[in-house]
Amino acid sequence: MKLNSQKLKELNFWEIIKESFVLAWQKKYLWWFGLFLILGGSSSFGFSSDDSKRDSSMKAFNTFFAQHPAFTISIISFLIVLCILLFILSFFARGALIKSIHQELAEKKSNFKAGLKMGKKYFGKILGLTLLSVIFLIAVAIVMAIPITSLFAAKAFIPAFILIAIAILIFIPLAFLVHFLLRLGYLYLVLGDLSIRSALENAYSLLKNNLAANLIFFLIFLLVNFVFCIALFFLLAPVALILFLVGLILFFIFQKIGIVIAIILAVLILLPIFLIIVSFYQVFQQTAWIKFFHAIAKPKIEEKVLEKIPETKKITATNAVEEI
């Protein structure tokens, strides 16, 4: 059943945002799961696009490696293992976060240990759905890139650029589709305990039948993300300014050593603040999507595909929903 204009009006987006913010603020143990999601998602090495900087960095690395080979190999091995562990932990954390929020909304007791245990159950499914989505997008990109590359090789530049424009127009909607299918698919995997295939089928059906609501919610979160970034900037800017002034003082006193001390201080102070705030925001965002899912999936509760998901109570301004 598609969401008609009346049903769309019944969706109280403001209440979803407000209640999600309150729950995310009150249940601070959930921030750990948000932190693991951030660290797992950023477990990658970056490289400078400046060739001169990259060359100088490589020369410095090679020199250091020649002088301390064992130490360098140990550090690199440790970082690789750490990145892999954080990457794996992020999939545990996603399932744990979804299930723990679900428990909190149903006013059932939960904690970090219990949430991580529940997240373990859905690790394989969440990893599988994520890899499937990534492989799909990569495959589409490769298929689109082959004719474009061939045209450039043949020096047919105008047709190549036209094909690039067409490819972009095709790829962007596909990326949006994958985004929504992942968001809703994760919820079906965890809350409905469905298989990857069933989760994708139900996610697609829910998206298709509630397309307007999903697009509106997506646009609302674009605005929320913008406001969050502005608030984060104004929160961190004064701290960064104070640290910059301290760095200047240290530079005049200790010269280069002062700069090193200032950088270390900045990392030790700014990085934890940043991670705490963004971890909270991860919890808030996931809570909002779960509550939105409750609202749009409710009319289909009695259908066979959602038999494993119990019915929710009506969302109010002061009480969280019970278990769906």
Give residue limits of the domains in the chain.
Answer: 9-306
pLDDT at residue 42 in the model: 44
Residues 6+ apart with CB under 8 A from 315: 12, 15, 16, 19, 291, 294, 295, 321
pLDDT at residue 260 in the model: 81
| Distance, CA of 286 to CA of 31 (rounded, Å) | 11
Q: Which residue has the tokens 């969302």?
A: 315
Q: Give exposure, 168-197, as e/b (b: 16+ Cβ within 10 Å).
A: eeeeeeeeeebebbbbbbbbbbbbbebebe
| 213 burial level (CB within 10 Å; 0-12, 13-18, 19+) | buried
pLDDT at residue 65 in the model: 63
| Distance, CA of 172 to CA of 183 (rounded, Å) | 17
Tens place of pLDDT per residue across the chain (324 aa):
444 555 666 788 889 999 999 999 999 999 999 999 888 764 333 334 454 445 555 666 667 666 667 777 888 888 888 888 888 888 889 999 999 999 888 888 788 888 888 888 899 999 999 999 999 999 999 999 999 999 888 888 898 899 999 999 999 999 999 999 999 999 999 988 899 999 999 999 999 988 889 999 999 989 999 999 999 999 888 888 888 888 888 878 877 787 888 888 888 888 899 999 999 999 999 999 999 998 888 644 444 444 444 444 443 433 433 333
Q: Beta-strand (E) ranges in 197-237?
A: none
pLDDT at residue 18 in the model: 92
Other C-beta atoms closer than 10 Å to the C-beta of 151 total 18
Query: Whole-model pTM?
Result: 0.77
Using DSSP's 3-state secondary structure scheme, residue 255 falls into coil
